[in-house]
Chains A and B, each alone.
Chain A
Amino acid sequence: MSRGSSLQLSRRTVLAGLAGAAVSGCGGTRSKEVVRFWAFGREGEATAELLEEFHARHPDTEVEIQRLPWISAHEKLLTAYAGETLPDVCQLGNTWVPEFAALDALEPIDEAVRTSGIVEQQDFFEGTFNANRIDSVLYGIPWYVDTRLLYYRTDLLKQAGFDHPPADWAEWSAMMGAIKSLVGPDRYSVLLPLNEFEPLLVLALQQPSELLRDEGRWGNFRSPDFHRTLSFYADIFERGWAPRMSNTQLSNVWDEFGNGLFSFYISGPWNIAEFNKRMPAELKDAWMTAPMPGPEGPGLSSAGGGALVVMKTARNKEGAWKLIEYLSEPQTQQRFYELTGNIPPRRTSWQLPALERSPYARAYYTQLDRLRSPPKVPEWERIVTEMRLASERVVYGRATVDGATVQLDATTDAILEKRRWMMSRGGGKA
């Protein structure tokens, strides 16, 4: 998923985007072949720094980079699609790939990968590639991975009597209970921001059931598996282990983690750098990352992140692919990691001292072998938002787990009505 949902980050990226827009106005000489590239937020900023090397290698190609703020990226892309002003290459959140594939806006790139000497499919973590494949057609090359895992306070966990991170839900519950009785009524065990769907989605993906059934025609939230997930999630709030809070209320997640307002936090890789930078000096070594605990043993996490796609309407597809190949090289990905903290989707790229030696990144390396994609239907973003709202109602005691899941299925089925109509008509082009 994109990170637009978190306000703290988007504020930063909005500023970055604005600054970027100001700079990118000045193009080079017009005699060169131009590749138009759109990237968002920090990624756009960092890519601009990576391009020097690309321009040195391909003096006849000029990359025009347009930086968009995350918060409005999705709208801008759709508007550009409607107005036929899409770029040649674009960064795309994994969850948006099905949508733009349904719009027939993306160029299939299986063939390009097959003949490429640089983009080696075997070298990528499998889950990251699969996230960009719709109905066995490949539309995007993974650029960086955004999966969620556990950040936790080692010192508080130790005080509560545990010297290792949780391995499964049962142990995690035991730890949350112990921490809660340790820290008292004003502090909590875990932060599950109510305005983020990611934590619940990760827990839901850990269960074997599909979230949508019959090739994404109907919701499947009434399944016993999702029922179990939502009950587990709601129980955490019910017992007072998690505060009923959204990110917008916290003002500063990192300070509160340092204050011990919560000891567990489910978040993405960019927070490694943030916590490194923002934790108070005396707590420098008091935190760690761990792979997600699952219902029974190590759990799956969501295959999110960013992909690079070539647009069907691209004027310079060759140049576009050259840029994707360059950005997929292990050396480039390593520099990209150094600049952004975004973790690379290629195994070879992980052979970087900074990555190999970082104890915080190690958990991600383990987690990358256990990824699962959310359902790949264009309506997913809306459905998952409805899922979040349903869970919020349960957490606030406005609905029971049974009532919420039945209603969620009804809403989902209504959202998917058009898709069912399309599939019955066009034989599955959606």
Chain B
Amino acid sequence: MKVARAGWWFVAPALMVLAVFFFIPVLAAFAMSLTDFDLYALADYDNLRFVGFHNYVTLLTQPLFWKALGNTFYFVILGVPLSLGASLGAALLVNSKLARFKNVYRTIYFAPVVTTMVAVAVVWRYIFHTRYGFLNYVLGWFGIDPIDWMGDPHWSMPAIVILAIWKNFGYNMIILLAALQSIPEDLYEAARIDGASGWQLFRHVTLPGLAPVLLLVSILTMTGYFQLFAEPYVMTEGGPLQSTLSVLYFMYEEGFKWWSLGRASAVAFLLFVLMFAITLLQLRLARRQVNA
């Protein structure tokens, strides 16, 4: 008995911090999502109405919410694999024995991660420019007609994906690089003695060695990518035709632009539930793979 109570005392500080900074705000947000808290309620609490799950119902019947959700999934499904691929590719290149000036490259690849989004946006807006853009110039060498990156609703999201990958791959690269360096060299030697080709080395030594880190990195990247916001905010303002409107951007507009905090809280909860479910799914899949 006494031991159990002592245990509670030991975790009490941590629990209190969690309660004050996590559980209470989350509960408050949930309570808020059941009301129509808005500008008028801010002026006078008499104007606050309890609306039950009305906010959730309206959201789920609102085409724009589904569009934002669809855009976000599009971004995640296209962006996460490409981003991981870019990170892994860069990590392998930097880790290669043939590579010289490794530190220089590591720094260069990491630079976009720590650059301010607003400054990046100014540069990329020129890169994506239909007429003078560098990207279209390069595509021109291969005989590809100029693409209206920011103006064509079909290309705006791919453009955002390109920008996001460039901005973020350096971070994962650093983590993967550390994981690569921790794979014992004798495994490669043994495999080579057995006559493994370069591809077989990668497939049967490198990838299994990286697996736990890759899982971690993919979960982190996915949760990060689900929270797409800054890129469309500074590049397209969600346009054209709301083709780059993400769930988080939608929530931001509801909450801080239009001040319908009730509705914005409901969006936040839906996003939370969604991300939680997807992460669980991912963990389960990963566990099955490890067991198999």
Contact = CB atoms under 8 A, between A and B. Distances in A.
B239 A392 contact: yes
B197 to A, nearest CB: 48
Interface in B1-47: 36, 38-40, 42-44, 47
A29 B153 CA distance: 56
A78 B153 contact: no
Given A78-B259, A249-B130, A251-B129, A378 B239 contact: no
A14 B49 CA distance: 37
Contacts of B39: 78, 99, 102-103, 378
What's the dominant secondary structure at chain B's contact region? Answer: loop
Contact of B239 (A11, A14, A195): A195
Given A103-B42, A249-B130, A418-B40, A392 B125 contact: no
A389 B151 contact: no
B276 to A, nearest CB: 29
Interface in B38-77: 38-40, 42-44, 47, 49
B239 A251 contact: no
Interface string A88-109: 0000000000010011110000
A213 interface: no
Interface in B137-158: 148, 150-151, 153
Nearest to A75: B256
B241 interface: yes
B43 A396 contact: no
Contacts of A418: 36, 38, 40, 47
Interface in B233-260: 235-237, 239-242, 256-259
A382 B242 CA distance: 15
A396 B239 contact: no
A290 B257 CA distance: 34
A102 B118 CA distance: 34
B237 A430 contact: no
B40 A430 contact: yes
A245 B149 CA distance: 11
Given A78-B259, A195-B237, A248 B150 contact: yes
Contacts of A26: none
A139 to B, nearest CB: 15
Contact of B125 (A78, A81, A195, A251): A251
Contacts of A249: 125, 129-130, 148, 150-151
Given A396-B240, A422-B47, A244 B151 contact: yes
Summarize A's interface: helix, strand, loop or mixed.
Answer: helix
B278 interface: no
B126 interface: yes
A393 interface: yes
A194 interface: yes
Interface in B110-132: 118, 122, 125-126, 129-130, 132
Contact of A104 (B43, B235, B237): B43
A351 interface: no
A86 to B, nearest CB: 13
A82 B42 contact: yes
A400 to B, nearest CB: 15
Interface string A215-256: 000000000000000000000000000001110110100000
A398 interface: yes
A103 B122 contact: no
Interface in A54-81: 74-75, 78, 81
A9 to B, nearest CB: 14
Contacts of A195: 237, 239
A248 B241 contact: no
Contacts of A99: 39
B235 A248 contact: yes
Most buried by A among B40, B132, B257: B40
Contacts of B38: 418
A14 B40 CA distance: 29
Nearest to B242: A389
B126 A393 contact: no
Nearest to B36: A418
Contacts of A248: 125, 150, 235-237, 239
Contacts of A75: 256-257
Contact of A396 (B40, B42, B129, B153): B153
B52 to A, nearest CB: 16
Nearest to A398: B241
B212 to A, nearest CB: 42
A82 B39 CA distance: 10
Contacts of B150: 246, 248-249
Contacts of A393: 241
A76 to B, nearest CB: 10
B282 to A, nearest CB: 35
Interface in A12-40: 14
Given A78-B259, A246-B151, A249-B129, A102 B240 contact: no
Interface string B260-285: 00000000000000000000000000
A318 to B, nearest CB: 26
B135 to A, nearest CB: 13
Contacts of A389: 242
Interface string A391-430: 0110010100000000000000000001001100000001
B228 to A, nearest CB: 17
Contacts of B258: 381-382
B45 to A, nearest CB: 12
Q: Please provide the 5 A-B residue pairs with the shortest distance between their CB atoms, ordered closest to farther.
A: A103-B43, A249-B150, A382-B258, A249-B151, A75-B256
Interface of A: 7, 11, 14, 74-75, 78, 81-82, 99, 102-105, 194-195, 244-246, 248-249, 251, 378, 381-382, 389, 392-393, 396, 398, 418, 421-422, 430
7 contacts: A75-B256, A82-B42, A194-B240, A249-B129, A382-B258, A392-B239, A422-B40
Interface of B: 36, 38-40, 42-44, 47, 49, 118, 122, 125-126, 129-130, 132, 148, 150-151, 153, 235-237, 239-242, 256-259
Given A245-B151, A381-B258, 18 more contacts: A75-B257, A78-B39, A78-B42, A78-B259, A99-B39, A102-B39, A246-B237, A246-B239, A246-B240, A249-B125, A249-B151, A251-B129, A382-B257, A389-B242, A392-B239, A393-B241, A418-B40, A421-B49
